[in-house]
Amino acid sequence: MSRLTAARGFKDISPQDIPTWRLIEDAARKMAGLHDFQEIRTPILERTSLFARGIGDATDIVEKEMYTFADKGGDSLTLRPEATAGIVRAVIERGMLESGGRPLKLFALGPMFRYERPQMGRQRQFHQLDAEVFQDPGPLVDAEVIGFLWAFLRELGLGGLTLSLNSLGCPQCRPRHREALVKYYQGEEKALCPDCQRRLSHNPLRLLDCKNSDCRALAGKAPVMKEFLCPECGAHIEGVSLALTDLGLAPVWDSTLVRGLDYYCRTAFEVLSGDLGAQNAVAGGGRYDGLVSALGGPDAPAVGFAVGLERLALLLKERAGLSAAGPDYYVAILDPAALGPAFRLTGALRARGFTVAADWEAGSLKSRLRRADKIAAKKVIMLGADEIASGQATVRDLLTKEQASAPFADPEAFA
């Protein structure tokens, strides 16, 4: 029989790595709570049409990277490539967006999936923290969302953070920028990478954030959106910028920071960390006022971010050397006659809230102490023939090396 392995691009999170992931998830929940966000958990699987409508057929994600398959009933389903579309679907379906209601602030933690060639640090299943706020069109909530993201990254001790900010304008002012871009790139098609040549006609904004060096050189001199903003968009981004200053953040203007989808508008942001290599953003987000209505919901403005957790986990693991806390007690069974008493004592201690480990067979004192050491138990309860005869277990504190006796039939004696 051939050896069974995980599917290509899928990885286990081993028990050794769980403390790191818990730390990240705890920090996310703590900061979400402080910023008044509620958790939502949507299915990892949605109808393919949701992503085709919500992310856009012409994007790289939908064109190449979706994990899509037909189920036995013939329905086309997709493992979610990102969280926003599913959350928007959920809030519409559940009627969570009442007109005139108070802003709805949601966050989600969980796995996302992309069908792409696995490479170092990029798996087909990865994890994100995602935050979305609905029904608040103002600049302060944009700054609040960025404040949540920033607080989360700081809570994890991430250093060298930079906040990049841009405005993508709105359906009123963006077309003039788009026109200027198309005009600017006219005659330069041959200098562009094949992807950008293709994008030029339907999505010229995306040429600004292409990673190809020739494209970057051209993008550096391209017309910038800032100069085309209408007065409302100008006031909005100014308001965001001021509010960020109130939070102690110093955003850096980056006119090549874009989102390729039409429903993105006004605020776009990214956070970069020197700890993770300068060229890659840790997290990104922005305002997407047109998405809810594009997916059949009310005309509800929205803003949010997503942050990938794998690289954070890698960094924290390297840095902190986190390990799981050992049990309060390891019960060392040194004689077959001790099995019953040991089993009862273990149950009684667990019922009192202690973490207890044991191996259900008798072994030598040496092998049992080695085991207690390996799992970093705080104390060892030794139960051998002598202890059974006297009714007194030997308890050794592995930190202080102190040893004492306690009646093993009375769990209170171990508290």
173 binds Zn ion, rule: CB under 5 A: yes
As measured in angstroms, the least distance from the Cβ of 208 to Zn ion is 10
Choice between 147 and 169, CB closer to Zn ion: 169
Class of residue 336 by CB neighbours under 10 A (exposed 0-12, middle 13-18, buried 19+): exposed
Binding-site string for Zn ion from residue 128 to residue 167, where x marks contact by CB under 5 A and - marks none: ----------------------------------------
Q: How far apart are CA 234 and CA 371, in angstroms?
A: 65
Choice between 130 and 289, CB closer to Zn ion: 289
DSSP 74-96: S-EEEE-SSSHHHHHHHHHHTT-
Pick one of 9, 86, 169, 301: the residue that binds Zn ion (CB under 5 A): 169
Q: How far apart are CA 360 and CA 356, in angstroms?
A: 13
As measured in angstroms, the least distance from the Cβ of 219 to Zn ion is 8
Binding residues for Zn ion, rule CB under 5 A, total 11
- Residue closest to 384 by CA, chosen among 360, 363, 413, 411: 363
As measured in angstroms, the least distance from the Cβ of 294 to Zn ion is 18
146 and 237 Cβ atoms separated by less than 8 Å? no
Residues 6+ apart with CB under 8 A from 202: 58
218 binds Zn ion, rule: CB under 5 A: no
Stretch that binds Zn ion, among 233-241, 249-257, 327-335, 337-345 (CB under 5 A): 233-241
212 binds Zn ion, rule: CB under 5 A: yes
Instruction: Look up residue 86 and give its two tokens.
Output: 């599913």
Q: How far apart are CA 333 and CA 58, in angstroms?
A: 65
Pick one of 170, 331, 382, 406: the residue that binds Zn ion (CB under 5 A): 170
As measured in angstroms, the least distance from the Cβ of 283 to Zn ion is 23
157 and 276 Cβ atoms separated by less than 8 Å? no
User: Please, what sign has the CA dihedral across residues 120, 124, 130, 135?
Assistant: positive
233 binds Zn ion, rule: CB under 5 A: yes
Torsion, CA 32, CA 99, CA 93, CA 268, rounded to 10: -50
As measured in angstroms, the least distance from the Cβ of 152 to Zn ion is 30
210 binds Zn ion, rule: CB under 5 A: yes
Stretch that binds Zn ion, among 34-42, 96-104, 226-234, 402-410 (CB under 5 A): 226-234
Alpha helices in 128-277 (DSSP H): 139-155, 174-185, 194-202, 213-220, 231-246
193 binds Zn ion, rule: CB under 5 A: yes
215 binds Zn ion, rule: CB under 5 A: yes
Pick one of 129, 196, 225, 237: the residue that binds Zn ion (CB under 5 A): 196
Residues 337-376 that bind Zn ion (CB under 5 A): none
The contact set with Zn ion (CB under 5 A) reads: 169-170, 172-173, 193, 196, 210, 212, 215, 230, 233
